[in-house]
């Protein structure tokens, strides 16, 4: 939404928060109907996020907005971010953390294996979801091997896994609830620990 690329904002809708799921067949139809979706919603563009699989154990959403119908799928408002910020953080280049406003919390329980990107300055990005839309052979079982597949990690960055020895919670802090997020070169999504008080500790 917006009148120019500079003032446009990306509004996020998600079908998996108590409304309904989006099947592969429905997603394919949404891709075909993209031009109509843009027209119906008065948008400048539409970005269809491929099927994602969560890595956390529990999830809370404290603020959601209106429900909206896209084709045959009902979705619910989940957050908003300036398009320029989204493009820098998750839209191009990868490994470039940016902020998105969303009031939710993830719980990774003690004993859970987590997938981490270490930044040179001590900040850590924890994978919140993965997708095989780009990396076709990617599965939950081989996420641990991603480090050997990455070719574009910035200098000083490292991928590692960790079995948590205590619960880890991730909740962007009040009052603005701005989460630091990025994607790797396979479009797996991460949220940052060490940028602010979002995480109860840096894993």
| Residue-range domain boundaries for the chain | 94-193
What pLDDT band is residue 8 in, cutting at 50, 70 and 90? Answer: confident
Contact 2, 8 (CB under 8 A): yes
Average pLDDT over residues 49-59: 91
Which residues neighbour 8 within 8 Å (Cβ) at sequence distance 6 or greater?
1, 2, 44, 82, 83, 84
Exposed / middle / buried, residue 165 (Cβ in 10 Å: 0-12, 13-18, 19+): exposed
Cα–Cα distances in Å, from 174 out to 104, 129, 152, 159, 192? 11, 23, 33, 29, 16
Average pLDDT of span 102-125: 97
Query: Using alpha carbons only, what angle is made at residue 91 by residues 152 and 70, rounded to the nearest 5 degrees?
Result: 140
Neighbours of 131 (CB within 10 A): 17
pLDDT at 175: 94
Give the pLDDT mean for 24-48. 90
Alpha carbons within 13 A on the beta-carbon side of 97: 20
> Torsion over CA of 91, 95, 97 and 98, rounded to 10 degrees?
-10
Mean pLDDT of 130-136: 93
Contact 181, 191 (CB under 8 A): yes
Q: What does pLDDT average to over the chain?
A: 89
Judge if pTM exceeds 0.85.
no
More confident: 165 or 90? 165
């Amino acid at each position: 939404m917006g009148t120019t690329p500079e003032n446009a904002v990306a509004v996020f809708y998600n079908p998996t928060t108590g409304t309904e799921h989006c099947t592969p067949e429905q997603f394919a139809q949404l891709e075909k109907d993209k031009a109509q979706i843009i027209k119906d919603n008065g948008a400048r563009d539409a970005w269809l996020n491929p099927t994602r699989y969560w890595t956390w154990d529990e999830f809370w959403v404290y603020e959601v907005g209106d429900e909206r119908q896209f084709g045959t799928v009902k979705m619910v408002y989940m957050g908003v971010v300036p398009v320029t910020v989204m493009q820098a953080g998750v839209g191009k280049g990868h490994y470039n953390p940016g902020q998105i406003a969303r009031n939710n919390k993830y719980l990774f329980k003690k004993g859970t294996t987590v997938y981490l990107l270490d930044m040179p300055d001590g900040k850590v990005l924890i994978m919140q979801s993965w997708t095989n839309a780009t990396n076709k052979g990617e599965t939950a079982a081989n996420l641990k091997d991603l480090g050997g597949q990455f070719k574009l990690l910035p200098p000083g960055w490292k991928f590692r896994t960790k079995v948590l020895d205590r619960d880890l919670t991730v909740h962007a802090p009040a009052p603005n609830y701005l989460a630091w997020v990025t994607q790797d070169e396979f479009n797996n999504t991460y949220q940052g620990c060490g940028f602010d008080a979002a995480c109860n500790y840096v894993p």
